[in-house]
């Protein structure tokens, strides 16, 4: 099996250094010791059965909870890699006597009886590689956000864990008493562990789990085979794409912004947010990147989710985010049973941003849907009824384009008319004109183009700073924001427009810190930000490429790739000085940035054919 991931001697400084596994129903995080330390059930935004990531107790502490470790006695070395083109993780442990084991971690996902089988389950296989290794298995799930340790019952080949809202069953062919007692024992044969629904395993556990593994590998390799990757940086792009796919809750098509909650944006910052929900904005960027790779299944699933959101709004207010099942109430509260990542609380559940006004969502809804009217590869192309529903979204965008909102950075205590939000409202109307033309509706095309022109004129008048020859982040203001770079991606301005070039220069001068970009450099609700926002650096790279500075962009991109975790991924934020990663992980924005920049900067396939 070929390895992916960064060499051990090139691993960057990273506080968030985890290996995601998952099946688009649940996901888990494996740490560098091979322990499962994060995983929510029964879906990506559920109660974290594995919550040790947000606890500060050492695994050896009898009170430690929320993890599943398989440790090798006298271990001296641990190596990890993914099986190529899959999220199946291999962790190899070697002991002081030369004994060795490998642990295979995966969540089953494959087609079965015409449907995708993706159970609420985590599977682990332990294989002896050399010598006489001894292991200790400690499975300590938690419940109610770390507040309780569930009761357990056991049978001859299983242990049941009675969580608050469901029961999980561990089926295993390892000695059940030794597992239950966390006792050390020799590994003399392959051992299989399946933590899943509270029902008897259907057939022979060993054979069944090996078949699940083979079919899961084949399913992921089939999906990856369909990606239109660039010539260069293929491993980075493929790993990012697979991980973005893991962030989709396949049942409804929703896409989470990240798989975790409450990892702070920098040490003791209090900027600890729950990202396990579907932001209209974040999902748009995810869809945009995966579309460029041809991963149309993610687009189709998300558009189904989005149509339900739009229909529920009935032409009215669209929230910035929704639950994975389309829930519109995501009350934010603090979980007192967990001290937080490295003891840096609070641990937040839910996100108050669902109550905010963020006008950019209207543009992102239309932008996501535009391809559905044109792309003949789709199973379901959009038609007149879809266009009429989107016209209601466009009308809303026009009504609010010059009204204050919280902006894309979700400021909690202030509102402005944000240039980015207004430009997204322009994009909604502009793309509706394109859709109308595609449908052969010239009157509607003219109508929406006139609306787009009106918004454009407003932005060019109220956000432009003639004294400094640049756009401001807010109407009538004099502030800088990295989102101004997105005027290029939205096609509001071409790269050779002097107004864009002046804005880019100002953003670089004000927000660039060496190789990294801040979102903004002014105080917000929590003071002055100290970490850079990774996606903003990727936006800068795109702008450098578009404005004739491609070699500089390429150098910056290579540096960002060197900042990745051993798993080849990025979190939300980075310390510009130490290079330490912070924020929720893996962050879809950051993965999107890697995919988009690789596609822009790569040599063409024709260069080697």
Q: What is the pLDDT of residues 279-300, one digit of tens each?
A: 999 999 999 999 999 999 999 9
Looking at residue 5, its pLDDT comes to 41
3-state class of 594 per DSSP?
Answer: helix
Query: Does the pLDDT at position 256 exceed 70?
Result: yes
* DSSP of 233-291: SHHHHHHHHHHHHHTEETTTTEE-S-S-B---SSTT-----B--SEEHHHHHHHHHHHH
Residue-averaged pLDDT of the chain: 95
Distance CA 546, CA 149 (A): 54
Looking at residue 112, its pLDDT comes to 94
Report the pLDDT averaged over residues 563-570. 97
Buried b (16+ CB within 10 A) or exposed e, 521-549: eeebeeeebbbbbbbbbbbbbbbbbbbeb
Q: Where residue 412 falls among pLDDT bands split at 50, 70, 90? A: confident
Looking at residue 303, its pLDDT comes to 97
Query: Does the pLDDT at position 108 exceed 60?
Result: yes
Looking at residue 172, its pLDDT comes to 97
Helix 550-562 vs helix 534-546: crossing angle, to nearest 10: 160
Looking at residue 411, its pLDDT comes to 84
End-to-end C-alpha distance for the chain, whole angstroms: 27
Looking at residue 201, its pLDDT comes to 83
The DSSP H or E segment spanning 158 is strand 158-162
Buried b (16+ CB within 10 A) or exposed e, 478-505: eebbbbbbbbbebebbeeeeebbbbbbe
Phi, psi of 226 (to 5 degrees): -85, 0
Report the pLDDT averaged over residues 394-403. 98
Q: Nearest-CA neighbor of 104 among 129, 120, 124, 81? A: 124
3-state class of 106 per DSSP?
Answer: strand
Report the pLDDT averaged over residues 172-188. 97
The DSSP H or E segment spanning 154 is strand 151-154
Query: Does the pLDDT at position 2 exceed 70?
Result: no
pTM for the whole structure:
0.96
SS3 content of the chain, % helix, strand, coil (to 5): 35, 20, 40
Higher pLDDT, 529 or 447: 447
Query: Does the pLDDT at position 414 exceed 90?
Result: no
Q: Nearest-CA neighbor of 591 among 79, 246, 122? A: 246
Looking at residue 6, its pLDDT comes to 39
Query: Does the pLDDT at position 105 exceed 70?
Result: yes
Looking at residue 13, its pLDDT comes to 45
pLDDT, tens digit, for every residue of 316-370?
899 999 999 999 999 999 999 999 999 999 999 999 999 999 999 999 999 999 9
Q: Is the CB of residue 339 less than 8 Å from the CB of residue 345? A: yes
Report the pLDDT averaged over residues 191-213. 94
pLDDT, tens digit, for every residue of 433-444?
999 999 999 999
Overall residue count recorded for the chain in this entry: 609
Query: Does the pLDDT at position 526 exceed 80?
Result: no
Q: Nearest-CA neighbor of 103 among 126, 131, 121? A: 126
- pLDDT above 70 coverage of the chain, percent: 98
Report the pLDDT averaged over residues 76-82. 98
Distance CA 16, CA 362 (A): 33
3-state class of 405 per DSSP?
Answer: strand
Q: Where residue 243 falls among pLDDT bands split at 50, 70, 90? A: very high
């Amino acid at each position: 099996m070929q390895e992916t991931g960064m060499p051990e001697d090139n691993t960057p400084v990273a506080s968030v250094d985890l290996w995601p596994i998952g099946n688009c129903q649940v996901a888990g995080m494996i740490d560098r010791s091979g322990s499962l330390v994060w995983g929510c059930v029964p879906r990506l935004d559920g109660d974290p059965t594995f919550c040790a990531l947000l606890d500060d107790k050492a695994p050896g502490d009898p009170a430690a909870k929320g993890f599943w470790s398989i440790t090798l006695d006298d271990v001296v070395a641990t190596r990890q890699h993914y099986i190529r083109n899959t999220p199946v993780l291999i962790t190899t442990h070697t002991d002081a006597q030369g004994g060795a084991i490998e642990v295979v971690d995966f969540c089953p996902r494959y087609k079965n009886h015409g449907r995708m089988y993706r159970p609420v389950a985590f599977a682990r296989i332990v294989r002896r590689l050399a010598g006489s290794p001894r292991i200790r298995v400690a499975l300590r799930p938690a419940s109610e956000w770390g507040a309780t340790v569930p009761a357990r019952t056991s049978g001859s080949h299983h242990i049941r864990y009675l969580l608050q809202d469901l029961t999980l069953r561990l089926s295993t062919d390892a000695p059940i008493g030794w597992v239950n007692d966390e006792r050390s024992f020799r590994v003399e044969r392959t051992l299989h562990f399946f933590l899943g629904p509270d029902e008897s395993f259907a057939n022979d556990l060993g054979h069944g789990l090996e078949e699940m593994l083979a079919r899961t590998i084949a399913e992921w390799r089939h999906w990856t085979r369909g990606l239109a990757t660039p010539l260069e940086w293929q491993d980075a792009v493929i790993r990012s794409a697979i991980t973005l796919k893991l962030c989709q809750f396949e049942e409804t098509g929703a896409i989470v912004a990240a798989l975790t909650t409450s990892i702070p944006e920098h040490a003791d910052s209090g900027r600890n947010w729950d990202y396990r929900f579907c932001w209209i904005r974040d999902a748009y960027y995810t869809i945009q990147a995966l579309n460029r790779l041809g991963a149309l299944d993610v687009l189709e699933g998300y558009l189904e989710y989005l149509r339900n959101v739009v229909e529920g709004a009935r032409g009215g207010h669209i929230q910035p985010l929704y639950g994975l099942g389309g829930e519109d109430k995501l009350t934010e509260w603090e979980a007192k049973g967990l001290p937080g990542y490295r003891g840096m609380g609070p641990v937040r559940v839910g996100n108050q941003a669902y109550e905010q006004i963020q006008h950019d969502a209207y543009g992102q809804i239309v932008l996501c849907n535009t391809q559905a009217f044109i792309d003949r590869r789709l199973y379901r192309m959009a038609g007149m009824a879809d266009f009429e529903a989107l016209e209601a979204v466009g009308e809303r965008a026009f009504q609010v384009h010059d009204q204050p909102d919280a902006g894309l950075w979700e400021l909690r205590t202030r509102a402005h008319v944000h240039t980015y939000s207004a430009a997204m409202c322009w994009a909604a109307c502009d793309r509706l004109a394109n859709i109308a033309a595609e449908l052969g509706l010239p009157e509607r095309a003219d109508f929406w183009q006139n609306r787009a022109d009106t918004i454009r004129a407003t932005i060019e008048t109220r956000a432009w700073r003639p004294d400094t020859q640049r756009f401001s982040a807010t109407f009538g203001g004099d502030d800088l924001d990295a989102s101004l770079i997105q005027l290029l991606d939205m096609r509001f301005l071409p790269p050779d427009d002097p107004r864009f070039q002046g804005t880019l220069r100002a953003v670089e001068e004000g927000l660039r810190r060496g190789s990294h970009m801040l979102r903004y450099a002014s105080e917000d609700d929590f003071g002055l930000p100290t970490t850079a926002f990774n996606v903003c650096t990727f936006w800068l790279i795109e702008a450098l490429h578009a404005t004739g500075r491609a070699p500089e962009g390429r150098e910056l991109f290579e540096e960002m790739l060197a900042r990745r975790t051993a798993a080849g991924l990025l979190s939300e934020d980075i310390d510009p000085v130490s290079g330490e990663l912070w924020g929720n992980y893996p962050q879809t924005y950051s993965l999107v940035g890697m995919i988009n920049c690789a596609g822009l900067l790569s040599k063409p396939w024709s260069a080697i054919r």
